[in-house]
A and B are shown apart, each in its own frame.
Chain A
């Protein structure tokens, strides 16, 4: 054997490493820590000051919650681009209902989100249209509705919703939701079914998983979760304009991918992708902001980082078509 042959190419070593399950467990956390340390240095420690940490957290809740639902969808190898307009519509409903009763408002938000999710699910599952097409359509549809409902003026919630706008409430609600989804994801048949569907839909069907039912259910659940996120959004902002929830879907997608989520879903997906991803994304954008970079520059850098991470984490073996 010649010496040259014994040395493995860097690429081969890398793909070998990525094939190990442990890589997918630790890399998202390492990535987050690197970004955190990097920006702690670049902003001379500003980003880890208590005030900024609190500010950062308060901007994180909505994204974190909504990302959880999309995470479930993406585990099955599907996509959802309608989250932003879904959040807008659900926020409007919550604002209307907040005049009557706060619990009715929360419920209204969840039902609205769930209903939009059901529409997505119907067209994807029953009419067999690829999910990204369906959700891009519903994204435009509900963005339009959102704009229509806010034509004359923003929709306001009644004044007393602000009383719920405390860090404790928001933190508890977020952690509570994350915990529930974590338990479902790791300790129930449904959780295993999601991963199996992402890894191979036909084979999952032959293993007795009710693929269509599960998919539809998850679209509804993801909608409900975003409806719930809309409540957090409303108590924080207090009103909805025509751009309410704008770009949320892109932020979710970027966050999840930054967290190491393979776009194709499946067995390589890890729960940690949500938390590490959302935090990494928020630290990245806040850090760039604090460094005083122009918005265009920020976007450019975010784009480059996004590309690099996707290239690193995509699961090439199973990447065929996004459903």
Chain B
């Protein structure tokens, strides 16, 4: 048993009608890495956002070293020795690397009201070098770095002052292995210094490996805190979901032949700067995977098939010869597309669940061009139920939902549209095991109904587990093709990716 450093006392938070965090009381010890897990919408991020001043505290108290802590923003949190690396982009565009690192703490470089930019850059560069990030320059605009580097900069920003509490919120899902190792290193360093790291991740294997203790939340409530050495992944899954989950959620069939019938073919498709002359066929009832590194252009393939790319050349055609050149044509011919960018492209988040589900099926729902509200309600309810969206009612706004539930709404829309070809870009990004299992089940279902799916994913295991055939991409072109085979390993795959 360690010495307590931080305690949450009966913390609550509501967003409108959603009660996101309910009476959560947990103790965190000095010098431990403490895992925080739960399904999407279980309240992990909300709880940590309140600790670090991103959200205001609904009710209850945070006690840090015996004193009440109620910070208004992240800068104030930092001054109290609490810092966070957030799930999405946590750095500000339009500022230099150094300005980002010292955001809110510029005072130390200010003399007589004038900021000494040179001193700031020097100190930032010293820090970057000390962390081993020699390729990042402190005086450069942060926009010149990619997502990965910007995350590394965030690591520096959140850890250089040796905070007493560091929160790492689902950061690893967006990082490459090298980036992850870098992050692990600093988590361990802080632990050695006697600080506490609160680690949020959906990768349960990683959580068990990295942490000393794990706290599980479900529906905003505290379920249990366990010793990491005592539990298995399956134990955690059970605690998170509240019921037994079968250990495997991928497809288990191998060697079933795929129909020879081609439903969609792409020929010599190019998009400037993204895709170079790619061609492929999609068969009836096939799950076709497309994998590779994040920047390899695979995400553009989805857009190209859906007619959403700008400046696309080459052709995408259906079996009957119809060319798909615009989104309306694609939708009219029952092609569905779920984007990686859930909040901007997949869903109109500032609109109701009902409107989001019905939007693409308006033609079917109208009679003589007239659309009745009641009909939309019925339709939305029906498909929201099929994918089991957790909601108060279909009138609820999508912006109130958690990531997993948003994704379900996006899928409900296309199931309602009765799409024949589904293009799913990163369908399980940032989504917990239960919703993941639901989505995989749905994909298997679609396959059984003879529908074809293209899955674009950065998660190799997901592709290996679900796809009949996988195309690997590298620098905008295909670099390899694998047939479904239980003997395939991640290594085979990675060899073609890089």
Q: Which residues of A contact B (CB under 8 A)?
A: 1, 5-6, 16, 19-21, 186-189, 191-192, 195-196, 199-200, 202-210, 266-267, 315, 317-318
Contact = CB atoms under 8 A, between A and B. Distances in A.
B359 A196 contact: yes
Interface stretch (B33-41, B188-196, B344-352, B487-495): B344-352
A202 B344 contact: yes
A1 B10 contact: yes
Interface in B349-366: 349-352, 355, 358-360, 362-363, 366
Interface string B43-65: 00000000000000001110000
Contact of B369 (A189, A199, A207, A267): A189
A210 B328 contact: yes
Given A189-B366, A206-B327, A210-B328, A196 B337 contact: no
Given A196-B359, A206-B337, A1 B346 contact: no
Contacts of A203: 344-349
B348 A317 contact: no
B141 interface: no
B371 A187 contact: yes
A200 B351 contact: yes
| Chain B facing A: main interface SS | mixed
Contact of B345 (A16, A21, A202): A202
A129 B412 CA distance: 35
Most chain B CB within 10 A, of A186, A203, A267, is at A203
A196 B59 contact: no
A317 B15 CA distance: 13
Contacts of A187: 370-372
Contacts of B397: 19, 267
A208 B360 contact: yes
Contact of B399 (A1, A6, A317): A317
A317 B350 contact: yes
Interface in B377-400: 395, 397, 399
Contacts of A19: 16, 397
| Chain A facing B: main interface SS | helix
B308 interface: yes
A202 B337 CA distance: 13
Contacts of A195: 351, 355
A25 to B, nearest CB: 12
B348 A199 contact: yes
A196 B355 contact: yes
Interface in B316-348: 327-328, 330-332, 337, 339, 344-348
B369 to A, nearest CB: 6
A239 B171 CA distance: 68
Given A187-B372, A189-B369, A192-B362, A204 B16 contact: no
Given A189-B366, A206-B346, A5 B60 contact: yes
Interface of B: 10, 12, 16, 59-61, 306, 308, 327-328, 330-332, 337, 339, 344-352, 355, 358-360, 362-363, 366, 369-373, 395, 397, 399, 413
Nearest to A19: B16
B355 A267 contact: yes
A296 B257 CA distance: 82
Contacts of B370: 187-188
A189 B60 contact: no
Contacts of A189: 362-363, 366, 369, 371
B351 A267 contact: yes
Nearest to A21: B395
Given A1-B10, A200-B349, A202-B345, A208 B327 contact: yes
B64 to A, nearest CB: 17
A191 B371 CA distance: 10
Contacts of A210: 328
A8 B327 CA distance: 46
Counting from the closest, the 9 A-B pairs by CB-CB distance are: A5-B59, A208-B331, A200-B348, A318-B350, A199-B351, A267-B351, A189-B362, A203-B348, A199-B350
Most chain A CB within 10 A, of B10, B12, B351, B369, is at B351
Nearest to B365: A189
Given A208-B331, A267-B351, A192 B371 contact: yes
B306 to A, nearest CB: 8
Contact of A1 (B59, B347, B372, B395): B59
A191 B355 CA distance: 12
A189 B375 CA distance: 13
28 contacts: A1-B12, A1-B59, A5-B60, A6-B59, A19-B16, A188-B369, A189-B371, A191-B371, A192-B358, A192-B359, A195-B355, A196-B359, A199-B348, A200-B350, A203-B344, A204-B359, A207-B413, A208-B327, A208-B330, A208-B331, A208-B332, A208-B359, A208-B360, A266-B350, A266-B351, A267-B350, A267-B351, A318-B350
A108 to B, nearest CB: 29
